[in-house]
């Protein structure tokens, strides 16, 4: 069996590896490091959790051991799709380069430009960055890439999903043609294949396991929930998730719960916290310092449940995650493999549970087609789902809601007061002409009451005559059930 000592790495690097407690390289490390040390381009295809980061960090440190960086001209460049993955690469560099004098800089969003500029001005051997922040520094004239000897693109398929491919192509064009390139991806989409054919020169292709396969150490389970109204699906999922967490008990040491949308991440985190569960959210809209603190709490065991968007699906190295929950099935089947790959790492066993409603059937079909097998079905314990969709009240459309509100307004309007019998007798005693005149009189209170009953009549009042002494105001036509208040006001002529 190959040992790290057999890979011709720098003795200082081997010392750091030994102090970190590692002796045997993973398959991708054992195959990629010799080609990297020979100066060849490397195309690595491996599922998450296989040790890809060390497979390019170790030979990178060995190669940069000779030479010195110049101001604003980094000697190597590592591109990562997310801030968390870039920070993890920086941590790996610190671990394995601690006995060397190599320097690094981390360029990610959410951090002030000033401190990053100071590091670049002093000169760095390794520049670790996300594509957007790297180009920001370049366009400000603070960075030159003409001295890059080694370029690494990590999680290239994730770059594709996040729309970074045009930025990657531009960055490739800013680096020397003679650079050495390490290109890593979990899957090989046609666009990724095109980039490797364009920018890599006769690469050593290393493929570990079948593309996008799940680790055998992970027990997978799918919970099928019944059909419900769209606005009730999330509620049923939350109930099912809490029931599963309670049923797992002490077996659930910690867990990452994935949602497709950032807003759902926040809602679920608040819901779990409300039910006395230790949970916190992490997604791209949160401040970087808060994201960092949340991850540190999760790594240190201070946080039990991490609610995440796909920003945490790739590359985050937390070896002791016992469970992964897919609150939402991912829309891209490859993301399912990356999500559940957060558990069952480094030979440990793990469990992945996915929740599904009938509307997610197309996502399930794509996942099972990718895995080439059916996901084992399970049931949520102690879950009272409630009425099925057929028994629920159908959602009202806009017309029925409006009719309902009008009906409610009619029932709520006060009924007109009954006139006393004595008044009726007095009316009969009046002259016939006076009766006809009073029939056309309409007071303000009567008009408001009529509006409440849905009647849109005009009103006449003996005090509302015009300058000719004649009332010319007729009924308000075309206003429907809603007569504006200003049309019902009285105006007296002095």
Structure tokens at 120: 């670049």
Same domain, 300 and 155: no
Same domain, 64 and 183: yes
Residue 379 has pLDDT above 60, yes or no: yes
Mean of pLDDT values over 122-127 = 94
What pLDDT is recorded for position 145?
95
Residue where a domain stops, chosen among 208, 230, 262: 208
What pLDDT is recorded for position 485?
72
What is the CB neighbour count within 10 angstroms for residue 152?
A: 23
In angstroms, the CA 346 to CA 321 distance is 11
Residue 405 lies in a domain: no
The CA distances from residue 467 to 444, 464, 494, in Å, are 21, 10, 11
Same domain, 308 and 181: no
Contacts of 12 (CB under 8 A, 6+ apart): 65, 99, 100
Same domain, 33 and 166: yes
Residue 150 has pLDDT above 70, yes or no: yes
Domain ranges, residue 236: 218-385
* Banded model confidence at residue 382, pLDDT cuts 50, 70, 90: low
What pLDDT is recorded for position 430?
45
Share of the chain above pLDDT 70, in %: 74
Residue 91 lies in a domain: yes
* Banded model confidence at residue 50, pLDDT cuts 50, 70, 90: confident
In angstroms, the CA 242 to CA 280 distance is 15
In angstroms, the CA 187 to CA 122 distance is 37
Q: Among 13-22, 178-187, 375-384, which is the least confidently predicted range?
A: 375-384
* Banded model confidence at residue 318, pLDDT cuts 50, 70, 90: confident
Residue where a domain stops, chosen among 208, 230, 245: 208
Mean of pLDDT values over 144-166 = 90
Mean of pLDDT values over 95-100 = 94
Same domain, 178 and 292: no
Same domain, 169 and 240: no
pLDDT digits (tens, 9 = 90+) for 358-376: 999 999 999 999 888 899 9
Contacts of 123 (CB under 8 A, 6+ apart): 68, 69, 70, 71, 72, 73, 74, 103
* Banded model confidence at residue 483, pLDDT cuts 50, 70, 90: low
Report the predicted TM-score, pTM, of the whole model to 2 decimal places: 0.64
Same domain, 68 and 171: yes
More confident residue, 213 or 166: 166
* Banded model confidence at residue 268, pLDDT cuts 50, 70, 90: very high
What pLDDT is recorded for position 220?
94
Mean of pLDDT values over 149-167 = 89
Q: What does the chain come to in residues?
A: 494
Same domain, 203 and 246: no
Same domain, 36 and 94: yes
Residue 395 lies in a domain: no
Residue 454 lies in a domain: yes
What pLDDT is recorded for position 16?
95
Question: How many domains, the chain?
Answer: 3
Residue 430 lies in a domain: yes
Same domain, 461 and 351: no
* Banded model confidence at residue 83, pLDDT cuts 50, 70, 90: confident
CA pseudo-torsion sign 459, 464, 467, 468: positive
More confident residue, 470 or 234: 234
Contact 120, 105 (CB under 8 A): yes
In angstroms, the CA 62 to CA 149 distance is 13
Q: ∠ CA 166-172-175 to the nearest 5 degrees?
A: 145
- Looking up residue 195, the CATH number of its domain turns out to be 3.40.50.300
Contacts of 231 (CB under 8 A, 6+ apart): none
In angstroms, the CA 329 to CA 367 distance is 9
What order do you get walking across the sheet with 126-129 strand by strand?
A: 104-107, 126-129, 76-79, 150-153, 180-185, 42-46, 204-208
Residue 452 has pLDDT above 80, yes or no: no
3-state secondary structure of 412: helix
The CA distances from residue 452 to 184, 413, 415, 446, in Å, are 71, 5, 9, 10
Using alpha carbons, select from 221, 264, 239 the residue that is nearest to residue 385: 239
Residue 466 has pLDDT above 60, yes or no: no
Beta bridge partners of 378: 223
CA 393 from centre of chain: 32
In angstroms, the CA 247 to CA 287 distance is 34
Same domain, 169 and 247: no
Residue 24 has pLDDT above 80, yes or no: yes
Residue 249 lies in a domain: yes
Mean of pLDDT values over 200-209 = 89
Helix H or strand E segment including 377: strand 377-378
What pLDDT is recorded for position 418?
47
* Banded model confidence at residue 49, pLDDT cuts 50, 70, 90: low
Same domain, 430 and 366: no
Residue 397 lies in a domain: no
* Banded model confidence at residue 283, pLDDT cuts 50, 70, 90: confident
What pLDDT is recorded for position 470?
46
Residue 409 lies in a domain: no
Mean of pLDDT values over 133-152 = 94
What pLDDT is recorded for position 462?
44
């Amino acid at each position: 069996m190959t040992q790290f000592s057999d890979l011709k790495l720098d003795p200082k690097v081997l010392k750091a590896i030994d102090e970190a407690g590692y002796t045997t390289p993973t398959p991708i490390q054992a195959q990629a490091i010799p080609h990297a040390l020979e100066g060849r381009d490397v195309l690595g295809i491996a599922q998450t959790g296989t040790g890809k980061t060390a497979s390019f960090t170790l030979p990178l440190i060995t190669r940069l051991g000779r030479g010195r960086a110049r101001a604003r001209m980094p000697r190597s460049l590592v591109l990562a799709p997310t801030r968390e993955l870039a920070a993890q690469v920086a941590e790996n560099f610190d671990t394995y380069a601690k006995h060397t004098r190599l320097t690094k800089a981390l360029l990610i969003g959410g951090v002030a430009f000033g401190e990053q500029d100071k590091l670049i001005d002093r000169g760095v051997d390794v520049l670790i960055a996300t594509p957007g922040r790297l180009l920001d520094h370049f366009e400000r004239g603070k960075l030159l890439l003409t001295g890059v000897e080694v370029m690494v693109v990590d999680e290239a398929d994730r770059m594709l999903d996040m729309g970074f491919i045009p930025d990657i192509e531009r960055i490739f064009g800013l680096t020397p043609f003679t650079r050495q390139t390490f290109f890593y991806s979990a899957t090989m989409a046609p666009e990724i294949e095109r980039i490797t054919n364009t920018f890599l020169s006769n690469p050593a292709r290393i493929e570990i396991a079948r593309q996008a396969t799940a680790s055998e150490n992970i027990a997978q389970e799918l919970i099928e929930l019944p059909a419900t109204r769209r606005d009730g699906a999330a509620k049923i999922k939350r109930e099912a998730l809490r029931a599963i967490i309670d049923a797992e008990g002490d077996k659930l040491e910690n867990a990452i719960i994935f949602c497709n949308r950032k807003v759902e991440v926040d809602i679920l985190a608040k819901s779990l916290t409300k039910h006395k569960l230790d949970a916190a959210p992490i997604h791209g809209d949160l401040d970087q310092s808060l994201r960092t603190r949340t991850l540190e709490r999760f790594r240190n065991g201070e946080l039990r449940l991490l609610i995440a968007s796909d920003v945490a699906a790739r590359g985050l190295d937390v070896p002791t995650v016992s469970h992964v929950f897919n609150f939402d099935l991912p829309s891209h089947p490859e993301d399912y493999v990356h999500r559940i790959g957060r558990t069952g790492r480094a030979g440990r066993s793990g469990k992945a549970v996915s929740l599904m409603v009938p509307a997610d059937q197309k996502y399930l079909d794509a996942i099972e087609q990718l895995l080439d097998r059916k996901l084992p079905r399970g049931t949520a314990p102690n879950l009272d789902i409630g009425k099925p969709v057929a028994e629920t009240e159908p959602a009202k459309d806009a017309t029925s809601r409006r009719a309902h509100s009008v009906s409610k307004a009619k029932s709520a309007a006060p009924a007109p007061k009954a006139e006393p019998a004595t008044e009726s007798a007095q009316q009969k005693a009046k002259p016939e002409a006076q009766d006809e005149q009073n029939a056309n009189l309409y007071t303000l209170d009567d008009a408001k009451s009529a509006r409440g009953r849905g009647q849109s009549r005009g009103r006449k009042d003996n005090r509302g005559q015009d300058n000719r002494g004649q009332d010319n105001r007729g009924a308000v036509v075309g206003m429907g059930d809603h007569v504006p208040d200003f049309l019902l006001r009285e105006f007296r002529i002095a």
